[in-house]
Amino acid sequence: MYHGTLVFATGNTNKVKEVQALVGSDVAVKSLHDLGYFNELSETHDTLEGNALEKAQFIFEKFGENCFSEDTGLEVEALNGEPGVYSARYAGPDKGAEDNMALLLEKLKGQTNRKARFRTVISLIIDGKEFRFEGIVEGQILEARKGTAGFGYDPIFQPTGYDRSFAEMSLAEKAPISHRGKAVSQLLEFLKFF
């Protein structure tokens, strides 16, 4: 089992709490705020892998602490993987989830292939060495929004095998089948046997 501290290279304290609850007391998960770092981390690559590594590497080099970071994208088959790494700012730099969903629905108008997947990549750096984990949930883009829970593209994404969108699921139901949940459980398995 990995013992000690791991910095989660994110400013989102909810994500940090979620992971801390999963790893138990052997590992202390710290956020960037715990390190006194409050800036946005740059994401200058055009792949999830590139951005995840960039963020983890930056923090490892700056603070010398073992750390991990994640990057997520929604990949739509008929759009050659768009919006992918640009999911958060698909409709423009200062647009939100509503605009992103509207743009995606517009681009898929009349399209019968609605296959899509969420993909999360986690980059973990221990003593300067990178380990990578991936979580994928397959599904489809609905014709219209359904449900109000969750965030981002949840109202228009329906995972395969379910007749409800992510936004119609509770967090307890979504978490274990989601991209992020799967990537985090891979990370936890790795830490268990480290």
Q: Given the residues 34, 71, 99, 154, select the one marked as catalytic.
A: 71
Q: Does 152 bind ligand IMP (CB under 6 A)?
A: yes
Q: Does 71 bind ligand IMP (CB under 6 A)?
A: yes
Q: Does 133 bind ligand IMP (CB under 6 A)?
A: no
Q: Taking Cα atoms as reference points, which of 49, 50, 52, 5 lies closest to residue 31?
A: 5
Determine how β-strand 4-8 pairs with β-strand 67-76. Answer: parallel
74 alpha carbon, distance to own chain's centre: 9
Beta bridge partners of 72: 120
Q: Does 8 bind ligand IMP (CB under 6 A)?
A: no
Segment interacting with ligand IMP (CB under 6 A) among 17-25, 31-39, 69-77, 108-116: 69-77
Q: Which of 69, 154, 169, 181 forms a contact with ligand IMP (CB under 6 A)?
A: 154
Q: Which of 31, 66, 69, 87 forms a contact with ligand IMP (CB under 6 A)?
A: 87
Burial pattern 45-63, b for ≥16 Cβ within 10 A else e, equals: eeebebbbbbbbbbbbeeb
Q: Does 150 bind ligand IMP (CB under 6 A)?
A: yes
How many other C-beta atoms can be found within 10 angstroms of the C-beta atom of residue 179?
Answer: 22
Q: Which residue is nearest to ligand IMP (CB)?
A: 152
Q: Where are the alpha helices (DSSP H) in 64-178?
A: 97-107, 171-177
99 is catalytic: no
List residues binding ligand IMP (CB under 6 A).
71-74, 87-88, 97, 118, 150-154, 166, 178
Catalytic residues: 71
